[in-house]
Amino acid sequence: MTEANPTPERRAGLSTRCVHAGDVRDPQGAIHTPLYGHSTFAFDSTADLLDVVEGRAEGNLYTRYGLNPTIRSLEHKLADLEDAQAALAFGSGMAAEAATFLSHTKTGEHIVCLGDVYGGTFELLGENLPQLGIDTTFLTAGEVDQVPSVLTDRTRIVFFETPTNPTLDVFDIVTISQHAHAVGALVVVDNTFATPVNQNPLHHGADLVIHSATKYLGGHSDLTAGAVAGPAELLTPIATWRKNLGQVIAPEIASLLARSIRTLVVRVRAQNVAATAVAEFLNDHPRVTGVNHPSLATGDQAAIIKTQMRGHGGMLSFLVDGDAAATAAVVDRLRVFSIAASLGGAESLVTQPITTTHHGLDPAERARRGIADSLVRLSVGLEDAEDLIADLAQALNAA
């Protein structure tokens, strides 16, 4: 097999790379990497087998190890999109996070988690890892200036999302990376909300990038997957945890994910435009007391966005003028938006974070982070923006 390379004389554009990066042509002439559902692969000789086992040659061995042509093709594509040396694909975003944290911290060491993150990440860092003697300092977005003071010689990872879930705060990757690297800590950025279309954290000093590929990379709400990308030397220990915990992505899902990534750019750019229109509508609505979307950012946030982002994303959140029940009533009246967890699909979704993503977070901690009972999160899909706005208008005006 040989790697497809449509433009060998120059680096292809992002859309072209989404379609072709990582693809291999098989002897049957398939235009994309075929699905290999095999659990194991044969060798012509013991010497050939040992070359793969001992890392002297890239090849296929055993699917749980990730040494499967469908999985490796996807990983080459993922690495290319994040301008990374390598990437690893997982069965979920949480699997990718867990393997990353476990491989780069040990008992007695320390993680800093900055800003709002997915509720499962809070649980992993706040409840699971402490059982292994790994503690985490949690800072809110408003406490970003405290990052240098909480870093110690025990700190191994500074982790954050940008933009964050669900308040869409944006962090300066360059500055945070400088602080972290000064004490020898790695910077791990969750790029799920932005996607490689809108942002490449490795360009700004991050060491590793994580994705819940279930979201925008998958893009159709029909798969569950995760990914981590970065330098090969940092991924090697992560791969060992993935192998021994059985976290590798299934070949069938890898093939489906590669299919989805081929349309990533057109999907995300359309969602950028529609979400901006929805944010502007909500920002002018009398029943809305606040809107969180990068397109509306001002001051320092706007300056950071201009420096490190190429688009504003399809996620936004807003505050309804009312309590939890009144907010739920607005949500329940929506018809084009579906009430559901997750995000990044072709269909638009709505949720109150207090009922889904951050339901398990202590109410006092939610309040400290600005995750109010009246907060509504929207994942803007591929419907016409006018239809989404009309749906929000009728739901908000009916009260």
Query: pLDDT tens-digit profile of 195-224?
Result: 999 999 999 999 999 999 999 999 999 999
pLDDT at 1 over 50: no
- Per DSSP, what are the bridge partners of residue 2? 25
**pLDDT 10s digits, 244-274:** 999 999 999 999 999 999 999 999 999 999 9
Q: What is the pTM of this model?
A: 0.95
What is residue 330's predicted lDDT score, i.e. its pLDDT? Answer: 97
Q: Which of 241, 176, 242 is nearest to 205 (CA)?
A: 176
**What pLDDT is recorded for position 45?**
97
What pLDDT is attached to residue 8?
Answer: 54
Query: Quick check: 248 and 228 in contact, CB under 8 A?
Result: no
Q: Is the pLDDT of residue 357 over 80?
A: no
Least confident of 22-31, 37-46, 241-250, 342-351: 22-31
Question: Are 64 and 246 spatial neighbours (Cβ–Cβ below 8 Å)?
Answer: yes
Average pLDDT over residues 33-57: 96
For the chain, give the mean pLDDT.
Answer: 95
Mean pLDDT, range 347-355, rounded to an integer = 93
**Bigger pLDDT: 303 vs 368:** 303
- The share of the chain scoring above pLDDT 90, in percent, equals 90
Which range, 331-335, 371-375, 395-399, is most confident? 331-335
Q: What percent of the chain has pLDDT over 70?
A: 96
CA angle centred on 52, ends 50 and 55, rounded to 5°: 100
Pick from 155, 193, 198: which is nearest to 176 by CA?
155
At residue 139, does pLDDT exceed 90? yes
Which has the closest alpha carbon to 95: 207, 234, 239, 310?
239
The residue with tokens 């301008």 is 83
Q: What pLDDT score was predicted for residue 354?
A: 87
pLDDT for the residue numbered 399: 67
Residue numbers annotated as active site = 64, 118, 190, 215
Predicted confidence (pLDDT) at residue 177 exceeds the cutoff of 80: yes
pLDDT band at 275 (very low <50, low <70, confident <90, very high): very high
Give the per-residue pLDDT at 219: 98
Mean local confidence (pLDDT), 348-352? 96
Q: What is the pLDDT of residue 5?
A: 46
Region of residue 195 (left: phi > 0; alpha: psi -120 to 50; beta: else): left
261 vs 270: CA distance, rounded Å: 15
pLDDT of residue 367: 75
Using CB atoms within 10 A of its CB, is residue 233 exposed (0-12), middle (13-18) or buried (19+)? Answer: exposed
Alpha-carbon distance of 220 to 229, in angstroms, equals 22
Residues paired with 24 in a beta bridge: 3
pLDDT at 342 exceeding the cut of 60: yes
Q: How much is the pLDDT for 26? A: 82
Residue 88 to residue 208: CA distance in whole angstroms: 11
pLDDT of 297 = 98
Give the single-character DSSP code of 33. P
Region 77-95: mean pLDDT is 98
DSSP, collapsed to helix, strand or coil, labels residue 159 as strand
Give the separation between CA 395 and CA 357, rounded to whole angstroms: 22
**CA pair distance 24, 36, nearest whole angstrom:** 12
